[in-house]
Amino acid sequence: MVDTVDRERPPGTVMTIDYDVIDVHALDHNTKYDLLADMHLATPERSLMVARALGVLPPVVRMVAVQPVDAETMHIGMSPEIEAAVDVAIEEINRCVDSLLAGMIPEER
């Protein structure tokens, strides 16, 4: 996945985030309801929990993210800080893909 994520870092910071996705089948009913009932509050973590519950989540879930300048306000286009981070993010995406492919056995490719 590729996105902007607010982790309170300097704008334009490129991050790689590995997700440890919660297995919703291991949760009690009330906890499941609290986490998943309102998909208007969708976050990557909640979406990944649904994907795992449906059995469509790959074994490794990784996001390359860039810290936005302002995570609370909608903008059209990219800020100069984000534009400057694009090439760095592309390099990190390529590194992640190469790393994942290197860990696969030939039949999985």
Q: How confident is the model at residue 105 (pLDDT cuts 50, 70, 90)?
A: low
pLDDT value of position 107: 58
pTM for this prediction: 0.73
pLDDT value of position 39: 64
What is the Cα–Cα distance from 19 to 89, expressed in whole angstroms?
18
Q: Which residue has the higher pLDDT, 87 or 61?
A: 87
β-pair type (2-4, 14-18): unpaired
What is the Cα–Cα distance from 23 to 90, expressed in whole angstroms?
30
